[in-house]
Amino acid sequence: MHENQAEAVLKLIPLGGLGEIGLNMMVLEYGDTILLIDSGLMFPEDEMLGIDFVIPDFSYLLKNRDRVSALVLTHGHEDHIGAIPFLLREFHIPIYGTALTLALVREKLREHNLIEQSELIQVSPRQLIDVGPFRVEFIQVCHSIPDGVGLAIRTPAGTIIHSGDFKIDNTPVDGKKFDIARLGLYGEEGVLMLLSDSTNVEREGYTLSEKEVGITIREIFQQKRGRIIVAVFASNLHRIQQMINISREFGRKVLLNGKSMVTNVRIARELGYLDFTPFDEITIQELQSMPDDRVLMLTTGTQGEPMSALSRMAFNDHKKLKVKSGDTIILSSRFIPGNERTIQHIINHLCRNGADVIHEQVKDIHVSGHAYQEELKILINMVQPRFFVPIHGEYRHLVKHQRLAVSLGMPAQNCIVAEDGDVICLTADSAIVNDKVDTGRVLVDGKGVGDVGGLVLRDRRHLSEDGLVIASLVINKETHELLSGPDVFSRGFIHEESMPGIIQEAKSIILESLDRMVTEEPELDRAGLQDDIRRELKRYFNKILDRRPVIYPIIVEI
């Protein structure tokens, strides 16, 4: 044991995923070792204009760079692996994960030209690894992507169970069941703390088995004679396998559509996670000669993403694929909160093209990969932790999950509702939040990481809501005589030809500002003149139109 570890305290520090959906990242710290669990991204919220995605703030890790020892992964969804390329730019650490999870990570690192400097170590369920004072066992769980695991982490203070994203499915498509026996054994031995997925804590009962979706889909195949187009998450390989199986049964061939769909299916095929032969598949070229009743198309775009294959088909923007009368479109996913309006917009356009659209609000064509209340209760009762921390959810989910644990007999003081940045200090007898570290969200826009902050987003919102006015003039540097202009241009503010009087008055205001500045000051203060023009135009536009455009004066001295 390191000499400092005799006096060390076990700390848990969430850097993302507590108080939000996505951005999952947990720090376990003891002595000179920091172990990371997951490193995920989050997709931008509506007010994050132009942002591609969001990653956790690594500031705390950078301050403790020498102690960051390893990253362990629970599964291959973007909200758990999406930030890894950005993490590896700062830290050269081994990454442990199951076969499919690492294959998806490898594909991501290849896109970022990081594969050569990465150390990816494949593990299997029930395998043990040692990272400093931590001994980690990977425990098989069910989720909406294969190869998901929970974690049992033996620490000097006691055992911590991290559920990962999970559900309890007794009839999984791939036959790999939730490892109740292994978790039950840890419960018998004694668990210090349970960290458990809170995503579906508001839903009563049990999640349905993934196989239930197959029953509904088979009924649709029996009824329909035209092309069937299924939009599904490209990571939901169990759902994709069921679609392939049912297609074989009804003599349909499968066309893959969308970059992530093609990539994920290729990876799953190579690893043996999909039974999908070349005989089952057709190309876009072969589609043209294939009878409609022999076609199944698997596509991306379940959430109405603007550049997804389904969206481009709905708006007739796809170069090679068109939606036509007689097509049946199945949106085999839930409407993620916040996306409802976009998805309904897509549905309307698909219907306008003559398609019959089936979604979860009219038929049971989706089941969740996250545990409902009764499954969450089973996990708590099985593990019997001394302390409990709900993870993976918005704040209301965490509070609801904490109350659920209390309803099962856990002492309220032992159930901690933590947020990102909270430092949870653990001993064999206590668990308290006694500090907070710097954390937050880093915005990624194109190749820029963290260079877009609150002020830039505020300007983008301002531009999107009120438009831009550019005022330009050229003056003599020596005499301050006006040589050209003033010219006034606007974008997203008014249609200049329909309101020439407003533009003309704006020019007069600029001239008045110039005359006033030249009269009052022997030396022209260009910055002062810009501020005066900005202030006077702002006052004028607000008075006349009750609008507040971004005003950008350009003064050129020659």
Query: 511-525, pLDDT tens digit by residue?
Result: 888 888 777 666 677
Strand partners, 142: 167
Q: Which domain covers residue 403, as residue numbers?
A: 5-205+368-449
Q: What is the C-alpha to C-alpha distance for residues 24 and 17, in angstroms, rounded to an integer?
A: 4
Q: How many CA atoms lie within 13 A of 248 on its CB side?
A: 11
Q: Are residues 10 and 39 in the same domain?
A: yes
- CATH number, domain at 320? 3.40.50.10710
The average pLDDT across 58-69 equals: 95
Residue-level pLDDT at 340: 73
3-state secondary structure (DSSP) of residue 267: helix
Residue 397 vs residue 346, higher pLDDT: 397
pLDDT at res. 426? 95
Question: Is the same domain home to 101 and 222?
Answer: no
pLDDT of 451 > 50? The answer is no
Residue 513: its pLDDT value, please?
83
- pLDDT for position 75: 97
From 281, 259, 144, select the one nearest 207 (Cα to Cα): 144
Q: What is the pLDDT of residue 2?
A: 45
Does 456 reside within a domain?
no
Which sequence positions are flagged as catalytic? 197, 370
**Which residues face 490 on adjacent strands?**
469
**Do residues 427 and 278 both lie within one domain?**
no
> What is the percent of the chain where pLDDT is above 70?
89
Inter-CA distances, 255 with 7, 276, 281, 419, 444, Å: 60, 12, 6, 44, 33
pLDDT above 90 for 161: yes
Between 475 and 417, where is the model more confident? Answer: 417
Indicate whether 455 belongs to any domain. no
Which one of 309, 328, 358 terminates a domain?
A: 358
pLDDT at position 69 is 97
Mean pLDDT of 16-27: 94
Residue, of 307 and 85, whose pLDDT is higher: 85
Query: What pLDDT sits at residue 44?
Result: 61
Determine the average pLDDT of the residues in 225-234.
92
* Per-residue pLDDT, 460: 56
Residue 287 buriedness (CB in 10 A; 0-12 / 13-18 / 19+):
middle
177 and 250 together in one domain:
no
Q: Work out the pLDDT band at 229, boundaries 50, 70, 90.
A: very high
478 and 550 fall within a common domain: yes
| pTM, two decimal places | 0.82
Does any domain span residue 460? no
Which of the four pLDDT bands, split at 50, 70 and 90, describes residue 486? confident
Q: What are φ and ψ of residue 120, in 5° steps?
A: -105, 125
Residues 352 and 374 in one domain: no
- pLDDT above 60 for 452: no
Q: For residues 288-294, give the mean pLDDT.
A: 92
- Residue 551 domain-assigned? yes
**For 366-389, how does the pLDDT look when each residue is reduced to its tens digit (9 = 90+)?**
899 999 999 999 999 999 999 999
d(CA 153, CA 69): 15
pLDDT of residue 186: 97
Residue 102: CATH number of its domain: 3.60.15.10
The whole-number pLDDT of residue 464 equals 61
Check residues 541 and 205 and name the one with the higher pLDDT. Answer: 205
**Identity (one letter) of the amino acid at 119?**
E
Task: Tell me what the mean pLDDT of segment 78-97 comes to.
Answer: 94
Looking at the structure, do residues 200 and 219 belong to the same domain, yes or no?
A: no
Which of 332, 358, 384 is the last residue in one of the domains?
Answer: 358
Q: Residue 461 domain-assigned?
A: no
Of residues 502 and 306, more confidence is placed in 502
Q: Looking at the domain assignment, is residue 458 inside a domain?
A: no
On the question of pLDDT at 319 being above 60, the answer is yes
Per-residue pLDDT, 492? 76
* 319-338 burial code (b ≥16 CB/10 A, e <16): eebebeeebbbbbbbbbeee
Q: What's the token pair of residue 380?
A: 């708590």
504 vs 135 pLDDT, higher one: 135
pLDDT score at 115:
92
Classify 222 as helix, strand or coil: helix
Task: Read off the tokens for 412.
Answer: 């309220």
In this structure, are residues 70 and 36 in contact, taking their beta carbons and an 8 Å threshold? yes
Verify that 340 and 372 share a domain, yes or no. no
Predicted pLDDT of residue 322: 87
Question: Could you tell me if 234 and 343 lie in one domain?
Answer: yes
Phi-psi region of 546 (alpha: psi -120 to 50; beta: other; left: phi over 0): left
| Residue 462, in any domain of the structure | no
The pLDDT assigned to 46 comes to 56
Query: What's the whole-number average pLDDT of the chain?
Result: 88
Residues 505 and 469 sit within 8 Å (Cβ to Cβ):
no
- Render pLDDT for 342-356 as a digit per residue (tens, 0 to 9): 788 888 989 998 999
- The answer on pLDDT for 260 being more than 80 is yes
Domain boundary among 319, 340, 358: 358
- Which amino acid makes up residue 95? I
Question: Is the pLDDT higher at 543 or at 186?
Answer: 186
Average the pLDDT over 288-293 and give the result: 92
State the average pLDDT over residues 440-462.
58
The pLDDT assigned to 481 comes to 79
pLDDT score for 3? 42
pLDDT at 5 over 60: no
Residues 19 and 152 reside in one and the same domain: yes
Residue 454: inside a domain: no
Tally of structural domains, the chain: 3
Q: For residues 56 and 176, state if they share a domain.
A: yes
- Does the bond joining 156 to the residue before it have cis omega, within 30 degrees of 0? no
Pair (441, 513) in one structural domain: no
Closest by CA position to 261, among listed 222, 231, 304, 282: 231
By the 8 A CB rule, do 197 and 168 touch?
no
pLDDT at 461: 62
CATH number for the domain that contains residue 488: 3.10.20.580
Residue 522's pLDDT is: 63
